[in-house]
Amino acid sequence: MKVDVILGLQWGDEGKGKIVDVLTPKYDAISRFQGGPNAGHTLEINDFKQVLHTIPSGIFHENKINLIGNGVVLDPMVFKKEIESIKKHNIDLTKNLYISKKAHLILPTHKLLDAASEAAKGETKIGSTLKGIGPTYKDKIGRDGLRVGDLVENFEEKYKTRTQAHKEMLEKFFNFDYKQMLEDCEKEWFEGIEALKAFKFVDSEHMVNELINDEKSVLAEGAQGTLLDIDFGSYPFVTSSNTICAGACTGLGIAPQKIGSVFGIFKAYCTRVGMGPFPTELFDETGQKLRDSGNEYGSTTGRPRRCGWLDLVALKYSIMINGVTELFMMKGDVLDDFDTIKVCVGYEIDGEVVDKFPFELNDDVKPVYVELPGWKTDLTKLTSEDEFPEELNNYINFIEDETGLPITIASVGPNRAQTILLERK
C-alpha cells in the first residue's frame, strides 16, 4: 500500500479541505504533513460549516485515523479553540486524533516576533498571517525549537529558556514593546497546552509506516499551495514550509517510493492572499466579480483575496514539481455568469513569449491569453457530468489538453454534495 497525496497547485485556498472530506471514506487514515494555523480548510457538510486550521479534514468521519505529522507547527491556543468548535458537533476527537511528538510548538513569543519582523519590513513586508509560523520554522531549522514531545519532561524550564532568548531579540533587534501582549497571551496558551495533553502523542513516522505495511490506506493532506513553497514558490512571498509532494516525505517520515497517486487541486481561476507577484491578477470589475461570486475572503485572516484568470504556465509548473497524476477542478460555478473566460497560456517577458515558469515573477511578466466562451449556466444545480453544458466540457478539455492530465473531479459548489466525479473519455 502507498500513501496518496492531495495538495494545492496555486497560491493556496484551492478547496483542499472539502475534497479531503469527500475522499476520506476511501482511506483508513488522513494526515497533515506541513504548515500550521495559517491554513484554513473549509468544510460545508449539510447544515454546518467548519474551518480547520491544524486538524486534518477527515475528522468528521468516524473510525478514521487523523494524524498531525512532524512537519506541522502547532499553536496550542488555536488547537484548543478548534477542538472546542468541533466538539459542538458531538465529535470525540480523543478517539481518533493523533499528534506527532516531533511536531514543533508555536510559542507566544513566536507570534510577537512575527509581528515585529513584519512591521520592521515596512513597504517590503511579505503579507504574513502573523501566526508565528515563520519564527517557529526558523527555530526548528536553527535547532532551538520546542516540540510536542518536550511536554513530557522539564517543559517549563525549556519554555523559559527559549522565550527569554525571544524577549532579548524583541528588545535588542526590534525595540518592540511586548510585555503586556505576552502577559495577555501566555495564560491562554498554557490552557491550550493542557488541552493538548489530552491527546495521544505518537512517533508518527513509525505509525505511518506501520499503517503502510499493514495495507492500510493513507491520504496526506497538504496546506497552502505549491506556488507558496519555500523553495519553488514565488520567493520571498512564500510560506515557511515545503508545500509540495516531497514535503509529505519529510513531514511524515515516508520514503519517496511509498508515494502513490498525487491529486492536484486547482481553482477554475486564480486567487492569492497577501503580497507577491500574480501575473493574471485583475484590478477591474471582472476581478471584483470573481471575488464576490467566489466569496474570496480568507478563511483564516478574513482578508480579501486577489483574483485573476487561470494561469496554465504556473499550473503546468506545479504539476511538474509535484508529479501530479490527477487534477481536481474547484469552483467552476464561480464562472457561471461570464460571457467569455480567459486562460493564460504563456508569459511575455522582454518581448519574448515563454511557457516556462521563470526564476522571478515581476512587473515585466505579461500574461498571454486565449479566450473561451462561457457556459452561462447555473452549475450548482448539476448532479452529473452528463448535464454539463458544451462550453464547460470544452473548458475542461482545453485544460486537459494543455496539461496532459485528466480532470477527474469538478466541484460546482461549496457543499460536500456538490462534487461531481468525472469519467473522462
Active site residues: 13, 41
Whether residue 123 contacts residue 154, with contact meaning beta carbons closer than 8 Å, is answered with no
Q: Please provide the distance, in angstroms rounded to a whole number, between the alpha carbons at the two ends of the chain.
A: 28
Residue with cell 497560491: 11
**Separation between Cα atoms, residue 135 and residue 146, nearest integer Å:** 12
Q: Which residues make Cβ contacts (< 8 Å) with residue 129, sequence separation at least 6?
A: 38, 274, 300, 301
Residue type, 369: Y
Residue 187: CB atoms within 10 Å: 11
Whether residue 220 contacts residue 316, with contact meaning beta carbons closer than 8 Å, is answered with no
Q: Is the dihedral of CA 333, 263, 280, 242 positive or negative?
A: positive
Whether residue 263 contacts residue 3, with contact meaning beta carbons closer than 8 Å, is answered with no
Cell numbers given for 297: 475572503
Give the residue among 401, 422, 423 at the shortest CA–CA distance from 410.
422
